[in-house]
Amino acid sequence: MEDTEPVATLMDSTTSKIQQLQKAFAELESHRAVTLNLKWKELEEHFHGLERSLKRRFHELEDQEKQYETKNRRAREILEKQEAAVVAKEQASLEKLQEKQDAAVFAIVNALQKHRKVSTAEPSAVPYDGQCESPTIDDQPPDAMTAESNLGEIIDPFENGNLEYPQLVKLCEQMDSEGLHKFISDNRKNLAVLKEEIPHALKSAVNPAQLVLNSLEDFYPKEVSNVDGKKDSTLLGLRRTCIMLMECLSILLMYTDLVSVSDLVSEDVKGQAKAIAEEWKPELDSLDVDANNGNSLEAHAFLQLLATFGIASDFDEEELSRLIPMVSRRRQAAELCRFLGLSERMPGVIEVLVNSGRQIDAVNLAFAFDLMEQFSPVPLLKSYLKEARKVASPGKPGSASPTNVQNDVNERELTALKAVIKCVEEHKLEEQYPVDPLQKRLLQLEKAKADKKRANEVAKPQPKRPRASGVGCGPRVTNSAPEKAFYPRVPDRYPQYVYDRQYIYPGPADNHVPPLMSSATYNFSPSHGNYFGNCYQYQTSYLH
């Protein structure tokens, strides 16, 4: 505002300047023989117009400056409030962290004190002369030693009473692998909590490694040999549970203080694990890498078994590395490779993924093993999008309409765009590969897909609905003779099933009513009680 004061003073002196100019103009006109064509009135109006426009513009600038100062002041206030909120959150986080640190230190001190008491009490229990034949701690089985001494040293932030699922501890104490499977299946909605508490529950087992090994018994069912693991939801859930239990055992081994893996996993258990791995290995030969698309539960379970029980050295690294593409989409892939000692073979694995059109998995593994210079992420992502936009060549002429082909291409591109955007954001590649054009293209494809879906729904013929009341035995027939039976005419009027989905309570396959065209005679009860409005019988025992 201080800079505007000289401008305002100059504007105020405009009138005096105009008067001086008028005097000079009059004096000039008096000394000339020819009268100037330009009259003073016109000059005066011109200068007054300039003065008015200048003042108007000046006031506009002043208003804009005031608005800017107001916005700037509000922004500073908001920024100060946000800084205060951040400081408060930091302080609260520091306090919580300090509390957790104090609790951890307290737990460590207590554990060390208990360990010292046990170590000082053990020598006094053994006679000095060495002639007593009472068994010492060295005479106990390895598994018993593991359960009694090693597991007691694990730093456990949870007490059994504070666990959300204390039943897990009871099941582990009883070494009940079947009950553990059933409990996890019944509480799968809280899978995150289960994953946190199972490692602490396994600590209470006499032999945690043996318990987890027993839980793998039905991974490949022996009763039914032709079970499809991709379609049987029960088997899928069981296999996921097996993998989770092995991961939880690995967590227990990882966070066990002063105890090596060999102390918790005995040689006997390792031998059993190796036998199971040899039994599972032939099953992997029938898996198709492309069909599994990097998300194979069978391959993941096999590799996790080797990593958890420390038996990877008994198998060929080249064969193990060929299994990595089968699990490349799973979040544990990089960690499994490190546990199995396959880090040096990762360039070859990534090369296989790139050549098979799975550049997203290749980029993720390249970042996990710091191979970005050898496998540049941005060109890989661009080539992935380019491949998704290609139109697949039809197998036979006329086998697919151009519309269907374009729909398939759009669907592939839509899926690829989502994967590329997620990969760019996860690895912070926005500066090298901006996502704004990708987002615009994604919105365009989603809008076209939604418009096409609405158009198809409008064009689709609406199916006939059954009567609201379940008492009616069929649709009204106006042109049938009274003496003719009603039901035999149903196939003529409704030769096809008009509903797109099954009923909510379908009966078993052997109890389903036979097709209407199979016989001309139908055994309907006189009451017509158990029939829907479209003359299809339902089973009363399945209605709840």
Give yes or no for a contact between 360 and 388, defined as CB atoms under 8 angstroms apart. Answer: no
Report the b/e string of 190-214 with b at 16+ CB within 10 A. eeeebebbbbbbbbbbbbbbbbbbb
pLDDT tens column, 508-523? 444 444 443 444 444 4
Give yes or no for residue 222 having a pLDDT over 90. no
Residues 323-381 have pLDDT tens digits of 999 999 988 899 999 989 999 999 999 999 999 999 999 999 999 999 999 999 999 99
CB atoms within 10 A of CB 167: 14
Question: Of 543 and 440, which is predicted with more confidence?
Answer: 440
Asked whether residue 131 carries a pLDDT value surpassing 70, the answer given is no
Rounded Cα–Cα distance for residues 151 and 153 (Å)? 5
| Residue bearing the bigger pLDDT, 421 or 116 | 421
Q: Average pLDDT for residues 459-471, to the nearest whole number?
A: 62
Residue 139 has pLDDT above 90, yes or no: no
Position with higher pLDDT, 298 vs 541: 298
* Average pLDDT of span 179-206: 91
What predicted TM-score, i.e. pTM, was given to this entire model?
A: 0.55
Q: Band the pLDDT of 416: cuts 50, 70, 90.
A: very high
When mean pLDDT is compared across 4-8, 120-124, 282-286, the lowest value belongs to 120-124
Portion of the chain with pLDDT greater than 70, in percent: 65
> What is the model's pLDDT at position 102?
82
By residue count, the chain amounts to: 544
Q: Is 337 exposed, middle or buried (0-12, 13-18, 19+ CB in 10 A)?
A: buried
Average pLDDT over residues 454-468: 70
Could you report the per-residue pLDDT of 520-533, keeping only the tens digit for each?
Answer: 444 444 444 444 44
Convert the pLDDT of each residue in 56-112 to its tens digit: 888 899 999 999 999 999 999 999 988 888 888 888 888 888 888 888 888 787 777
Q: In 285-345, where does DSSP find H-type helix?
A: 289-292, 297-309, 317-323, 333-339
Give, in order, the Cα–Cα distances in Å from 311 to each of 400, 520, 543: 51, 68, 53
Cα maximum dimension of the chain = 149
Would you state the structure tokens that stand for residue 466, as one six-digit string?
């059954």
The least confident of 26-35, 89-98, 107-116, 134-143 is: 134-143
Does the pLDDT of residue 125 top 80, yes or no? Answer: no
pLDDT at res. 229: 56
DSSP class per residue in 386-434: HHHTSPPPPSSTTSS-HHHHHHHHHHHHHHHHHHHHHHHHHTT-TTTS-
Structure tokens at 360: 């997203």
Distance CA 10, CA 195 (A): 79
Structure tokens at 435: 């996502």
Q: Token pair of 500, please? A: 């797109």
Lowest-pLDDT range, 257-261, 403-407, 481-485?
481-485
271 pLDDT above the threshold of 90: yes
Phi, psi of 531 (to 5 degrees): -135, 140
Confidence band for 419, pLDDT divided at 50, 70 and 90: very high
Residue 221 in tokens: 């069912």
Higher pLDDT, 26 or 340: 340
